[in-house]
Structures are given as structure tokens and as C-alpha cells.
């Protein structure tokens, strides 16, 4: 099974790095990386009275989490085996990775809004790169720790892309109607 082989390969490649690096998305940093765009984006849109953007920004991670709560019981996929895991073994199902899905949707929304509203090119590009790196890092950490298979993360990214696409279509349709 390619999923298990990929986990083993990642663990071999990154095995010399401290484990705490890959556990960052399991600790307070994950919460901080959710709060930062919500607070900063919320304040930015509130100041400009862009209420539909506030609704978008605050509801997309919630919608992603709810989508995950629907998909996991439907697919009913077990987690990778204990012997591959380093530290934690969640009791929930594996497919899709909720960390990856929520991160993709929230930070994908950040990328969308940065590219739509940010006039400062340095901030726009550095923010976009940082968001992409965070999305990738969260997914890779889930695989490295073997709490998810690579296909769980890829499924989360695909589901997130579809959800984010629908959100953007809806918000742009609402802007056209005004």
C-alpha cells in the first residue's frame, strides 16, 4: 500500500528533526494559526463594513469542520497502524484529515482575500507564501506523525478546494447581485 510506504519514507527523510516540530499543529500553535486570520481579517472587514467577507471568513473553517464530521463516518477509514505512529493515536476515523481540511479552507481564504484586497505587493506575496507553507506543513505533519495517511491529507485538500471554490462563487455572486 503506497500510503504506508510514503509515511515510512517521510519518517526516514525527516527522522533526524526533533519530534516537537511535527507536533506543532497539535499544540497551541494550531489554535493561534486559526485565531490570527480570524481576528486580523475580521477587524479589517469590520472597519470597511464588508460583512459578507466576515461571514465568509468566520464560517469557512466551521463549514470545513462540519464537512469533515460528515465525511469521516461515511468513509469509516481506520488510522495508520500504531507501530508507525510517534506520539498520539486519535480514536476517530482517518479520512479526511480535519487539521488539513480546516487549515486548507481558512488559509486558502486568506490567500483569496490577500490577492483580492491587499495592495502592498510584499505583504500580499509574503502572506500568500506563508499561508501555502502552513497548509503544506500541517498536512506533512499529519503524515509524518502517522495519524493520517497521505491520501487522507490529499482528500482533505481536494475537499477543501471544492468547499473554498463554492464559497468564493457564492460570495462573488452576492457581490454581483448588490
The whole-number pLDDT of residue 157 equals 97
Pick the range with the lowest mean pLDDT from 12-26, 77-91, 101-115, 129-143: 77-91
Residue 97 DSSP symbol: -
Whether the pLDDT of residue 49 is over 70: the answer is: yes
- How far is residue 73's CA from residue 92's CA, in Å, rounded to a whole number? 9
Helical spans, DSSP H, in the chain: 2-14, 19-23, 28-47, 51-75, 98-117, 121-144, 150-177
Cell of 145: 506523525
Whether the pLDDT of residue 174 is over 80: the answer is: no
- How far is residue 136's CA from residue 131's CA, in Å, rounded to a whole number? 9
* Mean pLDDT, residues 17-29: 86
Q: Where are the domains of the chain?
A: 29-177
The whole-number pLDDT of residue 20 equals 87
- How far is residue 174's CA from residue 178's CA, in Å, rounded to a whole number? 7
Model confidence pLDDT, tens digit, residues 137-159: 999 999 999 999 999 999 999 99
Whether the pLDDT of residue 177 is over 60: the answer is: no
- How far is residue 64's CA from residue 32's CA, in Å, rounded to a whole number? 18
- How far is residue 105's CA from residue 135's CA, in Å, rounded to a whole number? 9
Amino acid at each position: 500500500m503506497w500510503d504506508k510506504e510514503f509515511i515510512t519514507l517521510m519518517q526516514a527523510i525527516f527522522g533526524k528533526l526533533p519530534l516537537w516540530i511535527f507536533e506543532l499543529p497539535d499544540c497551541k500553535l494550531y489554535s493561534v494559526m486559526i485565531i490570527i486570520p480570524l481576528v486580523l481579517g475580521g477587524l479589517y472587514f469590520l472597519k470597511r463594513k464588508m460583512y459578507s467577507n466576515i461571514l465568509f471568513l468566520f464560517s469557512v473553517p466551521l463549514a470545513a469542520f462540519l464537512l469533515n464530521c460528515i465525511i469521516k463516518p461515511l468513509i469509516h477509514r481506520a488510522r495508520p497502524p500504531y507501530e508507525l505512529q510517534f506520539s498520539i493515536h486519535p480514536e476517530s476515523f482517518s479520512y479526511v484529515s480535519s487539521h488539513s481540511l480546516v487549515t486548507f479552507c481558512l488559509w486558502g481564504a486568506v490567500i483569496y482575500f490577500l490577492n483580492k484586497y491587499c495592495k502592498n505587493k510584499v505583504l500580499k506575496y509574503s502572506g500568500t507564501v506563508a499561508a501555502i507553507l502552513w497548509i503544506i506543513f500541517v498536512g506533512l505533519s499529519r503524515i509524518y506523525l502517522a495519524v493520517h495517511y497521505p491520501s487522507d491529507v490529499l482528500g482533505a485538500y481536494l475537499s477543501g478546494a471544492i468547499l473554498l471554490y463554492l464559497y468564493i462563487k457564492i460570495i462573488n455572486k452576492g457581490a454581483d447581485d448588490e
